[in-house]
Amino acid sequence: MGIARRSAVALALFGAVLGPLGALAQPASPLTVYDNELKPGWQNWSWAKVETPATAGEVKPLKVQGDAWSALALHHDAFSTAPYTKLSFYINGGPEGGQRLAVKAMADGKALDSSYVIEPKVKTWTIVEVTLAELSAANRNIDGLMLQAIDGAPYKPYYITRIQFE
């Protein structure tokens, strides 16, 4: 049996044992919520002041500021998070930074129980990656997400962009 024939037989056996190469798990494409604009299917349901877009060079982040307990809230028809493991976004605390924000997923229009809190840095872009398990949103249907101020006082603007489920 020639080398080419042995290689073909070995590859056939490999495929028979492990399945065809096309059957390997492929990572899901990210589900983008916002990147220079709200993506199709997403709506701004915020109860904070949100300006879209606020230009910062070539990036057009959302500018968010508000009263005590207000939130950036982005809504979508319910979808399964099964293909995704995390939520990621870039955030900048603006000139003052330090806003205390609870990151929450939503189901049936209500925030899911989680205690994930961030504090954006002054004039610095930071990537935030939070697992869906930490947001109580792994392998379930959700219909939105929010970043809610948790201090009982108005807060200065922060900027956020490239929000996506991965």
**Is 31 among the domain residues?**
yes
Is the Cα torsion angle 119, 120, 123, 127 positive or negative in sign?
positive
Task: Summarize pLDDT for 57-91 with one digit per residue, the tens.
Answer: 788 999 999 999 999 999 999 999 999 999 999 99
Q: Into how many domains does the chain fold?
A: 1
**Is 18 among the domain residues?**
no
Task: Summarize pLDDT for 139-159 with one digit per residue, the tens.
Answer: 999 999 999 999 889 999 999
DSSP-assigned states of every residue in 27-55: PPPPEEEESSSBPTT-EE--SSEEESPPP
Which domain does 57 fall in, by range? 27-165
| Contact assessment for residue 123 and residue 129, using Cβ atoms and an 8 Å cutoff | no
**CATH number of the domain within which 105 lies:** 2.60.120.430
**Is 91 among the domain residues?**
yes
pTM as predicted: 0.82
**Is 6 among the domain residues?**
no
